[in-house]
Structures are given as structure tokens and as C-alpha cells.
Amino acid sequence: MANIEIRSVSKEFKTGKVLDRISLSAEDGEIVAIFGPSGSGKTVLLRLVAGVEQPDEGRILLGGRDVTDQAPETRSVGMAFQNFALFPHMSAFDNVASALTAHKVPRDIIRAKVEKVATLLKIEHVLGHAPRELSNGQKQRTALARALVAEPKILLLDDPLRNVDAKLRYEMRLELPSLLKASGSTVLYVTQDYKEAMALGDRIAVLSDRDFAQIARPAEIYGGPATINVASLFGDPTINLMPVEPLASSAGQKIGIGGAALSLPPGYAHMAGKPCVLGLRAENIFVEDTASPESVPVEVVAVTPLNERTLLLLRTNDGREILASEAGTNEAPRRHGAAFARFDAESVLLFDPASGRRIAPQAA
Amino acid sequence: MEHMSVLERVVRGVLIALIVLFFLFPIFWIFLMSFQTNEDILRIPPSLFFTPTLSNYSALITGKLVSNAGTLDIAFMKNLWNSVLLSTASVVIALILGVPAAYAFARFKFRLGEDIAFTLLSFRFAPPLLVLLPLSLYFQQLGLTDTYIGLIWVYQLIALPLILWIVRGYFEDLSPDIEYAYRVAGHSWWRTFTRIAIPLAGPGIAAAGLLAFIFCWNNFVFALILASAEKQPVTVGALAFVTASGIQYGQIAAAIALSVAPTLALALYAQRYLVEGLSLGALKG
């Protein structure tokens, strides 16, 4: 068993509290993406698990063993540092092999293992080079190979794709999930790119403001973000947020936008008459030329074609600005001017403006 | 360099020549003096043309100083050996003590850490004469006067602070993540220190060791007070050339030439280690 358990861990630096009683557990073989804006303490959390930093309070258990007071070399984890942290006076081969030389592995087995992982990561041709002779992508792969080579049961990856160019990042984002799954390791993967988190994580732990805002599967986080903050961190373009006040009517709860009344899905009866924030993703807004029941008259103010989709900036009669996105650009380019926006009522999200928490629909 | 005009190159060359001349002329002159007799040296005006003689060197090496007043025994070769022994032993001990201490000061924050480090540095501020009187009294009581061990111990006042502060700076420049990466890979603290920290601070350790060696080699006043002729280094031994019958400039010049040689050779040898920038490209740019 190689599960990771972080129990109400706090860490404070001179500059202030970074983590405040946070807890997280990862099952054996699970990949948990730790996502959050920069400076939110993701790296600190990873370093606590590696034993490079000590928590002020709380316990850390790896494979059921309490390692809170154990030195990093006794934890048998693999870690890739964000700044690579390669040993500049050793060749790439020795860098990778360093994870094996600590354990009295015979030389020929070391060679075989290093070459195997190097081939997997396509750095076998630069194993003889010193770190300063490697490109950023090769350095990143060397650091990753060093973390993987000893086949650790627990793998900690600190934003390993941050310092590599866009093309390589895209390739690695495709390759990494199968690579990590094949390793069978329990993985904590730190990233500040929501797409990377969604592509790699079995679950995503969203770190914000010293604590996890939400820990859930990618689809759950995207479809049901716990807070306004989480909702706006996931998605491109950023989710549309509008202050609204649902009205009770005979046909359920309605929301008035730009002169039209939209029906809310059932379960929001308790919100009637209370101010809240409406969250609606760009891809759940359909812009049409003709009016339909519950569509909102809008003006298309700006059109941004991005190869696979088009972004539209809409303005309603009461002056709200809304971003919508349409798939494909094959049809005739969309014109500026009057149009009608239809909202997918099922995907509407409501948030409490005071706490920022999502208001879940209540069962009837 | 390729983009310099002819004029720039000429001006550059002239300026470099002037600087080299300014700094090297005394050494060059002493080197010439070491091949001259006292009469040649004292002739006015001085001349570049003279009959070279090896008598100065032979006097130093055989230990017999022949002058108008008769033959005088000098212990120059013994002094030179003392210098080598004292400086080398002092630097080796200072490295053994100073490098781990420098690492501790660079990596760990502990109570009074900064105060201890500063106290060690302050040994360099204190005028040596101030400590010498009490020190010589203590040394007499402890039986350390006129011993190599006593001198090497006192030389730590020179070597240890230098090594501590220079090497500390190099350790502080190393990214702790490089060491953490080695420890996470399963290596003990000690192995990380010897396999990662020391090799990466190597150029700094070499520079500090060399500097400490030169400072020890050039020390005069500690050895003058605390050691007899038997244990004195060349710096003190050179006093023997100020004899009753006059100052032996030729021998002094030859002695300087011989005593500068080891440090010069060491500096030339260590130079390539000093300029080697090992940590390049280890971290992201």
C-alpha cells in the first residue's frame, strides 16, 4: 500500500501562514493534481510530503507509516523539482542513477534501469552530457527520469512542465498520464494550469487561500465548482458571473436578464427573492438569429475567432456583458449586431455572494 | 573582442602593459638583485648591466653566509621548510574545521549563529600585537612556546575566519534544492554534504584555501614572538640578513625570490580551479 495521507497540516513562514490545517488523502495508485494559483502553497505542500520542509502541526502518513519526523532519505519517494535541481557536476546518467546508488544496486542493473527510463523519456542520446549542455526540455526529462528510475511507490511532481516550451508541454501532457499509470505510483502532481490538472488528475485538489477549496474528480469540479473562485479558475474563457435575484413564479423560479425571464432548474425554490451570483460557462450559451422562448435579445459586440471555436462578446439590454463560445468556424463568419442568446438552464450555477459558496439545488 | 578596432586594441595593449609594469617591476628588480653582489646593488646610479652571480643563492642553500666580517650560519632552508610545514598544516586544519562550519552557518539558522560567525570574523580585525602578549604568557605556561603545534594553533586566527567566510558565501549560493534532491533520492545527510555540497563549492574552497595559505605564509609577527630560530618561517628568518657588518641585500633578494616561488606556483596551479564555474546550467536560467 502506498497511500498518502495529510492530516490537518499547517505551515507558516516569516511572510505568513501558507497552509492552514489542510488535509488530503490519495489512494494507492491514484493521481491527485494539486492545482492553485501561484503562491498558494502547492510547492510547500509537496515539500512537506517529501520531508524537505517540516510542518508546524499535523501529521503526514505515507503507506500508513507516520513519517512526519522522518528525514527525506527514509521516505522512499521520487520527486521532480520545479527548478529541476539537477546535480551540475554529474552527467545526466549519474543524475538519473543517483536515485539508485543510495541503495547498493549492482552496477549493471543501474545501467539497465537508467537506460530503460531514458529511452522511455527520449533522453538516451544525451545521458553522457552534463546538465549545462542539455536543453530545458531535456533537463526536465532528466529530472523526471531521476524521479521515476527507482520506481518509487510515491511520486511527487512539482509543476514539471512549467519550464518547457509549449510544444513539448503539449506532448508531455499526452504522454504523462499513461507513463504515470504504468508506473503504478501514487502521484501528487502540482500544477497551475487547469488544463494540465484536468488532463492528468484522477482527482483535483484546488488549493486556494491556505486551504483546499474543493477536492473532486475533474468533471465534478468543472460542472459543480464549490465556490465562485474555483469556478473562475477552471475554464477558458472565464465563467460568466452575474448578480441576479431569482423570482418565484407559478412555473418555478425565474431569473430576469435583459428583459427576459429564464427558468431555473427545479430545487432553487429556497432562493427566491434572495440575491445570488449566476455562473454560466461560455459554451452553455447559444447565440441564435431568431428569437425562441426564454432567449435574451443581445448585441454581438466583439467576435474573436480561435481556430476550433469562436468567442463572442454579447451585451444585453440592461448592459451586462457575457462571453459566449461557439464551436467551429466553418459557417459564415458571425456578424456583429442584434442576436438572441439562449442559456442552457441545466448548467446554470448559483453562488452565495457573501460566502462565495455554490448553492446546491434542494431535492423537492 | 573580435569587434575592436585597431586603435582600441593598441590602447588596450598599452594600458595592460603599463599595469603589468607597475605591479611586476618590483618583483622583476628583486629578481635581478638576487643575482647581484652587494656592491653592484648599492652602486649609484643603478645599472641593468652587471656580472650575474649565484653566490647569493649558494649562500642560502648551503647555509653559510660569507661576509667581510667572517662566516655566519643562516638557517634559511630550515626556515623555508618551516614555512611550508606551518602554512600547509594550518590550512589543512582550517579547512577540516572551517568547511563544515561554513556549511552549518550557511544552511542552518541556530541561536547565536550569526554572533559566532561574526566573532570568528572579528579575529581578523584585532591587531595581532594586542593578543600576542597574553598569548605568549599562556603559551609559556602551556609549554606551547616554540612548538609547531602552538604556531599552527595561532595561525588558525588567520586561516579559519577567511575560509569560514569565503566558503560560507559559496555554500549560500548553492540551491538547497540540489541537496534536497540528493537526499530525497535516498542519500544520507553526510553523503549529500561530501558528494554534492563540497564538490559544488570546490572552486570557493580552493580559493579560500589558497588565500589562507598566502596569508599564513606571509605572517611575520606571530612567529617572531612565539618561536625561536629553530621553528621560524622565512618571513622571520630573513631578519638574519641584517647583520652587524651591514644589510645583505643580495641574499634578501634571493631569499624573497625563493620564498615567493612556492606561493606563486600554487596560485598558478590553482588558477584553473578558481575560474571554473561548475554550477552553470544546473538550474533553470
- With cell 634578501, the residue in question is B252
Does the pLDDT of residue B249 top 70, yes or no?
Answer: yes
Tell me, what's the pLDDT at B270? 75
Q: How far is A111 from chain B (nearest CA, A)?
A: 17
Closest Cα in chain B, distance from residue A364 (Å): 53
Domain A4-225: which topology?
A: Rossmann fold (3.40.50)
Name which residue leads in pLDDT, A315 or B47: A315
Q: What is the pLDDT of residues A262-299, one digit of tens each?
A: 788 877 878 778 888 989 999 888 888 888 887 888 88
Please determine, for residue A51, whether its predicted confidence score (pLDDT) is greater than 60: yes
The dihedral of CA A245, A250, A252, A256: what is its sign? negative
What the block records as the C-alpha cell of B213 is 595559505
Residue-level pLDDT at B1: 52
CA distance A340 to A290: 6
Q: Give A-chain residues touching B280 at CB under 8 angstroms.
A: 88, 132
Q: Which residues of A touch B (CB under 8 A)?
A: 47, 50-52, 71-73, 75-79, 81, 83-89, 98-99, 101-103, 130-134, 136, 139, 146, 150, 163
How many CB pairs below 8 A link A and B? 88
Taking CA–CA distances from B185, the nearest residue in chain A reads A99
Considering just the CA atoms, what is the radius of gyration of chain B in Å? Answer: 24
According to the model, what pLDDT value does residue A242 have? 87
Query: From the CB of residue A85, how many other CB atoms can be counted at a distance below 10 Å?
Result: 27
Q: How close does chain A come to B283, measured CA to CA in Å?
A: 6
pLDDT at B285 over 50: no
Tell me the β-bridge partners of A342. Answer: A286
Q: Note the Cα B36 to chain centre separation in Å.
A: 28
Q: Of A201, A164, A188, which Cα lies nearest the Cα of A62?
A: A188
pLDDT computed for residue B228 by the predictor: 80
Do the strands A260-263 and A252-257 form a parallel or antiparallel pair, or are they unpaired? antiparallel
In chain B, what residues touch A163 (CB-CB under 8 Å)?
284
B186 vs A86, A99, A134: nearest CB: A99
Dihedral of alpha carbons B167, B172, B175, B180, sign: positive
What is the DSSP-derived secondary structure letter of residue A84? B
**Contact assignment for B184 to A130 by CB distance below 8 Å:** no
- As a whole number of angstroms, the distance between CA A320 and CA B105 comes to 60
Distance CA B83, CA B182 (A): 41
Q: Which residue of A has its CA nearest to B281?
A: A132
Task: Tell me if A139 and B186 make a contact (CB, 8 A cut-off).
Answer: no
Residues from chain B that touch A131, judged by Cβ atoms under 8 A, are 281-282
How close is the nearest chain B Cα to the Cα of A153, in Å? 13
* Nearest Cβ partner for B183 among A73, A136, A146: A73
Q: C-alpha distances in angstroms, A185 versus A59, A149, A150, B102, B223?
A: 21, 12, 11, 39, 65
pLDDT for B273 equals 64
pLDDT band at B283 (very low <50, low <70, confident <90, very high): very low
Residue A75 to residue B187, Cβ atoms within 8 A: no
Chain B residues near residue A51 by CB distance under 8 angstroms: 184
- DSSP annotation string for A112-128: HHHHHHHHHTT-GGGTT
| Cα separation of the two ends of chain B | 25
Query: What distances in angstroms separate CA A265 from CA A5, A184, A282, one per listed residue?
Result: 38, 42, 18
Q: How far is B179 from chain A (nearest CA, A)?
A: 8
> Hey, what amino acid is at A261?
A
State the span(s) of chain A assigned CATH 2.40.50.140: 240-351
Q: According to the model, what pLDDT value does residue B245 have?
A: 73
Domain A240-351: CATH architecture, name and number where available: Beta Barrel (2.40)
Of A79, A87, A163, which is closest to B184 when you measure between CB atoms? A79
Which residues 173-212 of chain B have a CB within 8 Å of chain A? 175, 177-178, 180-189, 191, 196, 199-200
Q: How far is B38 from chain A (nearest CA, A)?
A: 54
- Provide mean pLDDT across the span A32-42: 89
SS (H, E, C) A240-284: EEEEECCEEECCEEEEEECCEEEECCCCCHHHCCCCEEEEECHHH
For residue B75, the number of C-alpha atoms closer than 13 Å in the C-beta half-sphere is 16
Min Cα separation A101/chain B (Å): 8
CATH architecture under which domain B76-275 falls = Orthogonal Bundle (1.10)
Instruction: Please judge whether A72 and B180 are an interchain contact, meaning their C-beta atoms are less than 8 angstroms apart.
Output: yes
**Interface touch A146/B200, C-beta < 8 Å:** no
| Substitution target from B109, B174, B177, B184 for chain A, most A beta carbons within 10 A | B184
Q: Shortest Cα distance from A9 to chain B (angstroms)? A: 20
Model's pTM, two decimal places? 0.80
| Dist CA A292 CA A280 (whole Å) | 19
pLDDT band at B68; cut points 50, 70, 90? low
Chain A CB contacts of B175 under 8 Å are: 83, 85
pLDDT tens digit string along A188-206? Answer: 999 988 988 998 899 999 9
Closest residue, chain A, to B198 (C-alpha): A89
pLDDT of the residue at B192: 94
β-sheet bridge partners, residue B90: none
Q: Among residues A285, A277, A345, which one has the least CA distance to residue A313?
A: A285
Express as a percent the part of chain B with pLDDT over 70: 92
Residues forming beta bridges with residue A261, ordered by sequence position = A256
The fraction of chain B above a pLDDT of 90, given in percent, is: 27
A130-139, B259-268, B269-278: which is most confident: A130-139
Interface probe for B, chosen from A49, A67, A82, A87 (most Cβ of B below 10 Å), is A87
Cβ contact (<8 Å) for B181 and A77? no
Among B175, B182, B280, select the one facing A83 at the smallest CB separation: B175
Cross-chain Cβ contact A52/B180 below 8 Å: yes
Chain B residues closer than 8 Å to A91 by CB: none
pLDDT of the residue at B275: 60
Q: Which tens digits make up the pLDDT trace of A62-101? A: 998 999 999 999 998 999 998 889 999 999 999 999 989 9
Cβ separation B184–A84 shorter than 8 A:
no
**In this complex, is the C-beta atom of B281 within 8 Å of any C-beta atom belonging to chain A?**
yes
B119 CB near a chain A CB, below 8 Å? no
Minimum distance, in Å, between the CA of residue A219 and any CA atom of chain B? 34
Lowest mean pLDDT among A152-161, B114-123, B213-222: B114-123
For residue A166, the 8-state DSSP code is H
Q: How do the domains of chain B map onto residue ranges?
A: 6-73, 76-275
- Which residues of chain A does CATH 3.40.50.300 include? 4-225
B19 confidence band (pLDDT: 50, 70, 90) = very high
Residue B284: band (very low, low, confident or very high) from pLDDT cuts 50, 70, 90: very low
Query: Quick check: A85 and B283 CB within 8 A?
Result: yes
Q: Which of A77, A88, A163 shows the shortest C-beta gap to B281?
A: A88
Tell me the mean pLDDT in the region B200-226: 87
Distance from the Cα of A233 to chain B's closest Cα (Å) equals 27
